[in-house]
Structure 1
Amino acid sequence: MTTATRLTPPVAKPQHTETALHGHTLVDNYAWLRDKESPDTLAYLKAENDYTTAVLEPTTELQEKLYREMLSHIKETDVSVPFRDGDYWYYTRTEEGLQYPIFCRKPGSLDAPEAVILDVNKLAEGESFMAVGATAVSDDGNLLAYSVDNKGFRQYTLQVKDLRTGELLSERVERVGSIVWATDNKTLFYTVEDEEQKRQYQLFRHTLSTSHAQDVLVYEETDERFNIGAGRTRDDKYIVLEAGSHTTSEAQFLPADTPEAAFRLVAPRRDNIEYYLDHRNGLFFIRVNDTGRNFRLVTVPVDSPEIVNWTEMLPHRADVMLEEVDLFKGFYVACERRDGLQHLRVLRFSGDGTETPNSVEIAFPEPVYSAHPHQNRIFDTTTYRYAYQSLVTPSSVYEYDVTTGESKLLKQLEIPGGFDRTLYASERVFASAADGVTVPVSLVYRKDKFERGKNPLYVYGYGSYGYSLPIGFNGNRLSLLDRGFVMAYAHIRGGGDLGKPWHDAGRLMQKRNTFTDFIAAAEYLLANGYGEPGRVAMEGGSAGGLLMGAVANIRPDLFRAVISHVPFVDVMNTMLDASLPLTVPEYEEWGNPNEKAAFDYMLSYSPYDNLEAKAYPAMLVKTSLYDSQVMYWEPAKYVAKLRTLKTDDNSLLLHTNMTAGHGGASGRYDYLKEIAMDYAFLLKQLNVA
């Protein structure tokens, strides 16, 4: 193949198909790419990969340089902070040259000899992909139940390992989700997904050393909007089975020491009401959003959990999202979000079992940060572990003493390679959306490289499912910051950064707010000198890839380059196909296009359906053949169609990882090489040396 041929964009042959609905005809010339087994499909994906490689070939040395830079900021041989669970201390460690973590433990004391309970590197031998799903150790510490995926399709296989001998037992179950032991150390509950929609819908009870065919079906969820999952309360007294959609949930419980008893319902599901529970001293503590979208905290006796018996402990507050409640014997921690930032508030119980009137909030030193619970498996404790990081502070684990109110740093991630946090600055600014709503934007840049109005600007966004954009440290980012990039993270509507109402304002029939918020954030940053017009890039993945596609259609002039990972861009065809994984549950996020009003609104922003003949930014679109969340054909079809319409000569690249899933490469070194490709593309497009 000649260089000229390799630099000629592939052409996907159009095959006209139509879908008529609500008086509108959807035309799709590339539906044939859905056939993963077709030689034509695989040939097209390979041609696109070859073309991407050829176009990026001049950046080969730069990619290697970026890879080495990022690797230099990783402590390749490292150990996580050990945490106690039962009679053991558990931790993970990594070794230089090995792609995957090693799960270890020590009995009784950290001075005891190490025992490796699961070496993911050994599991990955002979595999191109490896991911560990759920893990659960039996109460006596002798057995490990775990699940693995060797394709990237998020389809996990359950196995059980005897930690005394290292032997794998005969238990092996496909398509498993959550795993929970009963206290008898021989009964295992697990959930499985259906084969078509990848929805966890059945709960089975298994007794060790018996045939899988004898497993008892305990519960089956028939509503296609709902997934199920099982777990133990922190005090280990109860097994809780949750069924949840995007907007509604319910819970059943079972004493963990009577695994053959029947599960009992706490409160029946009510549309748009979610509740989550834990247990202490005969009371369920329930976080519920029945009186307001941002949740309150109630308690109820285990023996009579009906709603009429609920007693309020923390009221709903319109300006505070109660994201989580961490419950312990002597105290609980209210994990809250105010003004877009996380707060941890500690409330101690008095003798009568109620909390003391005054709470203590753990103090954090920076104006922009992320703080959340860490591993806390011990119920009867006076200490609480939490994780803290910011855009300039590496990931840190602290232990808070509930008695003294003091926090002690246990470990801060070491960033080798000459990292000096004082060189960098982080800010939070606020952009005004088109309707006057204020949108927070978090920023980080290197102070000595910042020159107002002259820096390359990178803007990241997501804005879906009520997911709050994490503000954390990433050593990979230093390769861009040290070259003068200003990096911005837009906390747009549709996410959860300002509570449930913020999510509500960017979903269903208000979804376009997500896109216009992002545009407003980019415009604000340019107007205030945080970047140079003409040198602006944006990045997003999955639902954030939908954001990329919609924004590129609305304001292609605002951005020079786009990186779109596993993008959800074919909204109409996907949401009209109820046989696909996730489609029916996602009606609560996007709308049901079988209803005309929703169809018309979704069609107004669907990236694939709104492509037109005009100039677009340079694009690097990435997907994976075994993606179970956004099927590979969505980005493939998007690129194929855009090639026939765009009027510019900017790069349009599609790269398909043929051996991975939604999250890309599973090995840590392979993943760094993927990031190096992204960064090289950005540097080339924004003309950064």
Structure 2
Amino acid sequence: MRTPPIATPKPKQITSPHGTRTDNYYWLNERENPEVIDYLSAENAYFEQEMAPVKELQAELFTEIKSRIKEQDESVPYHDNGYYYYVRYEAGGEYPIYCRKKGSLEAPEEVLLDANEMGQGQAYFQIGGFQVSNDNQLLAFSVDTVGRRMYTLRLKNLATGELYPEQILNTGGEAVWAADNQTVFYSKQDENTLLTYQIYRHQLGTDPAADVLVYEEEDNTFHIGVGRSKSRQYIFVQMGSTMSSEMRYLEATNPAGEFQVFLSREADHLYEIEHFEDSFYVLSNADAPNFRLLKTPVSNTSKAAWQEIIPHRPDVFLENMELFHDYLVLGERQEGLLQLRVIQWKDKQEHYLNFGEPTYTAAISINPEFDTHVLRYGYSSLTTPTSTYDYNMRTRTKTLLKEQAVLGEFKKENYVTERLYATAQDGTRIPMSIVYKKGFQKDGTAPVLQYAYGSYGISIDPSFSAARLSLLDRGFAYVICHIRGGQELGRQWYENGKKLNKKNTFTDFTDCSAFLIKEQYTSPTTLFAAGGSAGGLLMGAVINMHPEYYKGVVAAVPFVDVVTTMLDDTIPLTTGEYDEWGNPNQREYYDYMLSYSPYDQVKAQAYPNLLVTTGLHDSQVQYFEPAKWVAKLRATKTDNNLVLLHTDMEAGHGGASGRFKSIHDAARQFSFMLLLLK
């Protein structure tokens, strides 16, 4: 093994109301410092040197994964306001082409945006929001050319192809047209914290400097956004933190009017609204941890006027809704699995869709129109490629419109999926979804990749990955651990994995690891773990707690310097995180965070082989967190295992942009694991 780069320790005292800590690598925060760039470049060079034995394999994996993708492809069109909209890809193209056809799929194609042309010469390119005006003549869209999710808003005349001259910088990405087809509402970001905190009104063809500020959020634990009701009759401003929300509404025909508060924010009350006919429908967790559905007249939005439609159920989490003229469709979770429930307004008859697999994911898709009896939904499982269905709610029949093409020799019947349960230290049963190729031997010799996220109430559902086949076909099993901190088993599942319960997330994961080893799915010499962002925090915590379980760990854009970051409210997005992790300015939270923060808990012990990835322009987890963590691990650990840091100098939190550039990320991670099995 070659000598890795060594970051020079430069001690800095980090002072807080509850103690002083020494950070030897704080200087890596200086993004513009040439010494920092040199260090990151040296780490990249070291990565390439250590990965040299599998360089050909990495190229082979890239080619293999890419070969499964149908390069010339298009999405299933959906109908909206007289047009069919779809996205297509051309052979060799990295980016999507946004198109539509008027009235019929046989009509001539209109290209709205060709991201391949727009992204030429850009190291990074992504289209954010995309919305067409009511008269179908104008398009508002946004682009990011850095990867920090700060979007530039542009407006386009679809009749002439003309781009209007105004460029509105530092937006949140979304934009909403008013009914006059002249007025656009958009959110603005703070350039330092990256929080969306303002909503502006823009008049087509005018100087953005004259845009009118219609709302500013003063609570920096909240983020805001702007949207439009399915009915198109209302513009919504949504304000939200992890535990509280507020919505305001404005008639789309009155863009110069004042937004009205639907219900003022309350502690521990999350809600969202939709409009249908003369009512607002409310998804709320007031006195209902797993949410319930209510409605209220447009003329009276006070809580006293709310009428319950779907009551709270302790064993069913009500995740979302879709309103139709004759039907209500609910997305629900029970026993960790998504279900779609269809209810007829007229007689309240109801039924659930049957999906026929033990573990899967199903979700309401794009349904922009009310007056239809057809529900568009998406379906996937660990063995079934992403599929788009139309479901006739009247006849209860479904039509497969498209299954993601997987080129080559893939046959879903060659793979097996299981639902397993590990028992946590406190007796809680932790669900796991597992997939492997037929012939997998449960004798403790097989490699397993164990994955989880476990934060923000985000549920990781068992869905298909064509890239993952490259591991399954090489003998791996892939396991998703549905640990606490997600919302797979309802709101309480999330509550039991956040703030002062956060360690449940980590011990759930290691208890799943112990189960997989005990049941001989794998062994400590063949078990790998992976997670990204808050899942990267998970990786950092579990290797401090149980390094002996894992042969290798992949931590992508990991949030590992929890205490320092959460103490610094100038760092992007920090203040909005207090409801998730706690506020370290309070002693109780400070001590608890410190007890698990991966960077602070690095100790003189043996660690697994480790691949850490980041992006120089990451807006969510700043690049310096993983860089500092790697430097401290190198200086502290007692083993000779690999610790590799790879920094994408041109990307942000989501990694490289484009269909094929991002495959390099997967090939890099897979070849790292396969290197360790050589």
TM, length-normalised to structure 2: 0.99
Quick one: distance in 1 between partners of 2:423 and 2:447? 22
Partner of 2:180: 184
The yes-or-no answer on 1:424 pairing with 2:419 is: no
The 5 A counterparts of 1:525-540 are 525-540=516-531
Give 1:265's aligned residue: 261
Structure 2 SS opposite 1:546:
helix
Which residue identity does 2:268 align to in structure 1?
N
Q: Does 1:24 align with 2:15?
A: no
Q: 2:509, 2:659 → 1: CA distance?
A: 30
Listed as ranges, the matches of 1:354-393 within 5 Å are 356-393=347-384
Matches within 5 A, 1:71-470: 71-177=66-172, 178-350=174-346, 356-470=347-461
* CA deviation after TM superposition for structure 1 residue 585, in Å: 0.9
SS at structure 2 position matched to 1:627 = coil
**Residues 1:421 and 1:450: Cα distance change in structure 2 (over 3 Å):** farther
Q: Give per-residue Cα distances to partners, 1:46-100, cap 9 Å, x unaligned.
A: 0000000000011111011111111121111111100111111110011121111
The 2-side partners of 1:658 and 1:673 are apart by 14
- Corresponding residue for 2:44? 49
Pairwise CA RMSD? 1.0
Mapped partners of 1:479, 1:417: distance in 2:
12
Distance in 2 of aligned mates of 1:98 and 1:375: 25
Q: Which moved more, 1:303-312 or 1:529-538?
A: 529-538
* Residues 601-633 of structure 1 deviation map (CA, whole Å, 9 limit, x = unaligned): 000000000001111000000000000000000
Shift of residue 567, structure 1, vs aligned partner: 0.2
Q: CA deviation at 1:114?
A: 0.9
Distance (Å, rounded) in 1 between the aligned partners of 2:211 and 2:343: 43
1:541 corresponds in structure 2 to 532
Shift of 1:453: 2.2
In structure 1, give the amino acid aligned to 2:65: M
CA apart distance, 1:241: 1.1
User: 1:449, 1:482 within 8 Å by CA — same for their partners in 2?
Assistant: no
Amino acid at match of 1:19: I
How far the C-alpha of 1:450 sits from its partner, in A, is 3.2
Q: How far is 1:646 from its partner? A: 1.1
Quote the sequence identity (%). 47
1:415-466 CA distances to partner (integer Å, 9 max, x unpaired)?
1111011110001100000000110000000012334322111100110000
| Residues in 2 aligned to 1:289 and 1:48: alpha-carbon distance in whole angstroms | 47
Moved more, 676-685 or 628-637: 676-685
Instruction: Answer whether contact 1:463 1:491 (CA < 8 A) is retained.
Output: yes
User: 1:9 is matched with which residue?
Assistant: 4
**Structure 2 residue 32 is the aligned partner of structure 1 residue 37:** yes
TM-score (norm 1): 0.97
The aligned counterpart of 2:561 is 570
How far does the alpha carbon of each residue in 1:510-549 deviate from its partner, in whole angstroms, 9 at most, with x for none? 0000000000011111111211331100000000000000
Report how far residue 414 of structure 1 moved. 1.1
Q: CA deviation at 1:191?
A: 0.9
Distance 2:228 2:165 in 1: 25
Secondary structure at the aligned position of 1:151 is classed as coil
- Output the amino acid matched with 2:59: E
Q: Which segment is superposed worse, 99-108 or 601-610?
A: 99-108
Q: Which residue type is aligned with residue 180 of structure 1?
A: V
CA contact (8 A) 2:53 2:675 kept: no
Letter matched to residue 390 of structure 1: S
Of 506, 509, 516 in structure 1, the residue corresponding to residue 497 of structure 2 is 506
Which residue of 2 is the match for residue 353 of structure 1? Answer: none
Q: 1:478 aligns with which of 454, 463, 469?
A: 469
Contact 2:620 2:653 (8 Å CA) reproduced: yes
The alpha-carbon deviation at position 686 of structure 1 amounts to 2.8
Q: Supply the distance in 2 between the matched residues of 1:8 and 1:116 (Cα, whole angstroms).
A: 53
Contact 1:536 1:686 in 2 (8 A): no
* Letter in structure 2 aligned against 1:170: P
Q: How far apart are residue 357 of structure 1 and its match? A: 3.1
CA contact (8 A) 1:234 1:328 kept: no
2:480 matched residue in structure 1: 489
Structure 1: how far apart are the matches of 2:539 and 2:197? 32
CA separation in 2, counterparts of 1:273 and 1:62?
Answer: 51
Q: 1:665 aligns with which of 656, 663, 669?
A: 656
Of 577, 591, 609, which residue of structure 2 is paired with 1:618? 609
Distance in 2, Cα, partners of 1:619 & 1:239: 47
SS in 2 for 1:116: strand
- 1:121-154: CA deviation from partner (whole Å, max 9, x where unpaired): 1111111000111111011111110000000011
**Counterpart for residue 62 of structure 1:** 57
Find the counterpart in structure 2 of residue 652 from structure 1. 643
- Higher mean alpha-carbon deviation, 319-328 vs 19-28, is at 19-28
Gaps (5+ residues) in structure 2?
A: none
SS of 1:670's partner is coil
Q: Is the Cα–Cα contact under 8 Å of residues 18 and 590 in structure 2 kept in the other structure? A: no
Of the structure 1 ranges 207-216 and 179-188, higher mean CA displacement relative to structure 2 is found in 207-216
Q: Is the 8 A contact 1:535 1:559 kept in 2?
A: yes
* Counterparts of residues 638-649 of structure 1 (less than 5 Å): 638-649=629-640
| 2:175/2:186 contact within 8 Å kept | yes
TM-aligned CA deviation for residue 232 of structure 1? 1.2
* Structure-2 separation of matches of 1:597 and 1:176: 36
Deviations 1:459-489 (A, max 9, x none): 0011000000021100001110011101100
Q: Is the 8 Å Cα contact of residues 620 and 652 (structure 1) preserved in structure 2?
A: yes
Distance across 1 between alignment mates of 2:219 and 2:310: 32
Contact kept in structure 2, 1:450 and 1:484, CA below 8 Å: no
| 3-state DSSP of counterpart to 1:90 | strand
Tell me if the contact between 1:89 and 1:107 (Cα under 8 Å) persists in the aligned partners: yes
SS at match of 1:636: helix
Question: Please, which runs of 5 or more residues in structure 1 have no aligned partner?
Answer: 351-355
Q: Select which of 624, 640, 660 maps to 1:633.
A: 624
1:668 is paired with a residue whose SS is coil
